[in-house]
């Protein structure tokens, strides 16, 4: 009995230290959104006037030319375009984009000092305009994978956005079917 209790305590402490290490490696980029590439990629201009390409961590939105691709892009634009954001990030993808969680103030707040309480990544999934990308769940910030999974499940149940289609094609499958020589990522 004592052995299993000590093992459980040890495992909990190890898990907490890994979570703290993962969250401790995060950096924050502050800036204003200057452009929207698609439903999961945007551009942020920082105070030093440097533009950064941000790939929304943990989600995959329909591509341009794919069903709901333009609606997803428009949704991200409504939520973030020309607004101050905070990007919590911890690395880059194969294309050199910053992988981050984008936080923005609530749309009804008109002041510049509003707290950035809306997770744009999560909002895209909640609206049914992006998939939660399970493949990269381990790279998400603590708690995000569970929140994104729940949001996707609820969007599916409500038949929101792309879930209104009978068999929506995930973007990773669509990209693979429509790939060209420059594509680096396979499903």
Catalytic site positions: 55, 63, 97
The radius of gyration computed from the CA coordinates of the chain, to the nearest angstrom, equals 18
CB 50 within 8 A of CB 98: no
The DSSP result for 127-147, as a single string, is TTSSEE-GGGGGGSPTTHHHH
158 contacts 128 by C-beta, under 8 angstroms: yes
Tell me if residue 8 falls in helix, strand or coil. Answer: helix
Strand partners, 132: 59
């Amino acid at each position: 009995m004592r052995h299993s209790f000590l093992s459980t305590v040890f495992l909990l402490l190890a898990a907490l230290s890994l979570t703290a290490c993962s969250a401790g490696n995060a950096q924050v980029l502050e800036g204003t959104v200057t452009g929207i590439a698609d439903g999961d990629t945007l551009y942020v201009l920082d105070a030093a006037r440097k533009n950064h390409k941000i790939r929304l961590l943990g989600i995959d939105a329909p591509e341009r030319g794919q069903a709901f691709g333009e609606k997803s892009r428009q949704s991200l634009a409504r939520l973030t375009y020309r607004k101050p954001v905070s990007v919590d990030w911890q690395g880059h993808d194969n294309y050199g984009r910053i992988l981050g969680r984008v936080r923005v103030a609530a749309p009804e707040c008109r002041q510049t000092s509003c707290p950035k309480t809306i997770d744009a990544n999560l909002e895209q999934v909640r609206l049914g305009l992006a998939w939660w990308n399970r493949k990269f769940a381990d790279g998400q910030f603590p708690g995000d994978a569970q929140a994104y999974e729940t949001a996707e499940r609820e969007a599916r149940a409500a038949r929101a956005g792309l879930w209104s289609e009978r068999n929506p094609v995930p973007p990773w499958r669509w990209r693979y079917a429509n790939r060209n020589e420059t594509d680096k990522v396979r499903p």
